[in-house]
Amino acid sequence: MVKTPPRGTAPAWRLTHWRLLLAGVLLSLPLSLQALDAQAADEPTAKAESSSEAEWPQGHYPLPEEGDIVGETSTIIAEGSDTLLDIGRRHGIGYEEMRRANPDINVWYPGEGSEIVIPSRFILPPGPREGVVVNVAEMRIYFFPEPKDGEAPHVETYPVSVGRMDWKTPLGTTSITQMVKNPNWYPPQSIIKEHAEDGRGKLPSVVPAGPDNPLGSRKMRLNIPGYLIHGTNRPDGIGMRVTHGCIRMLPEDVESLFAKVGVGTTVRLINEPFKLGWSEGTLYVQAYPYLDEEEGTTVDRITNALAQVDQAVEGLDYSVDYARLRDVVEVPGGLPVALEYTAPPNQQRAPKTLYEQLELIAADTPKTVDVEAAKALVEPS
């Protein structure tokens, strides 16, 4: 096994300085070239489902015995009357997910015969695989039901809408405390005031169940005052940051989830814009835009990503493609991308250590980057 100098030999301050320097090197690379390489790393393929996969409903996946990835990225051909939102809803994918996976497609008129990517391959969120997990950065719910006798462990995942910039969805571990079918909506004073100030008229003190009720047909109250998981009467907004902090689901999805959870079900609210996971010996990354600019600069994000990847491959003889990692972090597309480094044909061997890759990267990088200084930071003193 090749030993990487930073592990166990260099002080923490050297690792921090080294990652900052490597982040600077990566940022100096031409983004357009890296974007093409990264997008090609996990080309979607329209493949027929195996018989075992076809038995599962849409958005339901058996948990892998080993690894962290479920589902498959696929493509479909748009019909004349389709919008990108229509296609996404049929496949359990939210607005932003569809838009990022199809950046060159018109949202409202994809065009008959257009090839549309369905980004339905997911790295499972970090942490315990139990109860409900909401990743607000991903705008997606994962539900891990307790397997029944003879049932294979599985996960169900649904797109959601989360809080806007000024009405953030809270984070932390909580639970469901109340479940209501066909709920009335009692608008809080803050929302009544907002409607009036925006010129949208005066809201009534109560909105009865029905097509005008923004809670939809199901409501699950969380043990965080004022916050719910609920349905909607405006499904086109699913997969956007449009709520007042609550978790909003498609009508069919909230009814499905409602039937399987109960009072006391654990709900974990996380903000993980950067997910790592293994599948068949390959490390993948799946990244999403940060919700807030104050969450860090681009250098901070790349530095944090380097630290997580370094931890994931610690003790392994695994070559990471750091240039591709940089692209995924800076231009997150929401698709799982393989991080295994593949040497070009004219290269005799793949670089094994981080600073060996730094030397290769620097060959196409402006000479203002001091590669020798980077090596000095990671080599033992």
With bands split at pLDDT 50, 70 and 90, how would you rate the model's confidence at 179? very high
Residue 125 has pLDDT above 50, yes or no: yes
Model pLDDT for residues 23-32, shown as the tens digit of each residue: 555 555 555 4
Question: Which residues are CB-contacts of 131 (< 8 A; sequence separation ≥ 6)?
Answer: 143, 144, 265, 266, 267, 268
When pLDDT is averaged across residues 146-153 and rounded to a whole number, the result is 88
Distance of alpha carbon 189 from its chain centroid, rounded? Answer: 33
Identify whether 78 is part of a domain. no
When pLDDT is averaged across residues 124-138 and rounded to a whole number, the result is 96
Catalytic residue among 60, 91, 230, 244: 230
Residue 54 has pLDDT above 80, yes or no: no
Identify whether 98 is part of a domain. no
Residue 46 has pLDDT above 50, yes or no: no
When pLDDT is averaged across residues 86-110 and rounded to a whole number, the result is 94
Total structural domains within the chain: 2
For position 124, what pLDDT does the model report? 98
Does 286 lie in the same domain as 164?
A: no
Of 223, 253, 271, the domain-final residue? 271
Identify whether 154 is part of a domain. yes
Neighbour count for residue 52 (Cβ, 10 Å): 9
> 266: domain range?
127-271
Does 251 lie in the same domain as 137?
A: yes
Identify whether 3 is part of a domain. no
Contact between 326 and 26 under an 8 Å Cβ cutoff? The reply is: yes
- Of 276, 302, 308, nearest to 21 by C-alpha is 302
Of 271, 296, 322, the domain-final residue? 271
With bands split at pLDDT 50, 70 and 90, how would you rate the model's confidence at 55? confident
Neighbour count for residue 47 (Cβ, 10 Å): 11
Contact between 152 and 62 under an 8 Å Cβ cutoff? The reply is: yes
Does 296 lie in the same domain as 229?
A: no
Residue 357 has pLDDT above 70, yes or no: no
Q: Would you call 246 a catalytic residue per the annotation?
A: yes
Model pLDDT for residues 227-237, shown as the tens digit of each residue: 999 999 999 88
Of 248, 271, 294, the domain-final residue? 271
Catalytic residue among 60, 91, 244, 246: 246
Residue 219 has pLDDT above 90, yes or no: yes
Neighbour count for residue 55 (Cβ, 10 Å): 11
Q: Which of 123-127, 167-171, 209-213, 322-326 has the lowest mean pLDDT?
A: 167-171
Q: Would you call 195 a catalytic residue per the annotation?
A: no
Model pLDDT for residues 198-211, shown as the tens digit of each residue: 666 677 778 889 99
Does 17 lie in the same domain as 34?
A: yes
With bands split at pLDDT 50, 70 and 90, how would you rate the model's confidence at 347? low
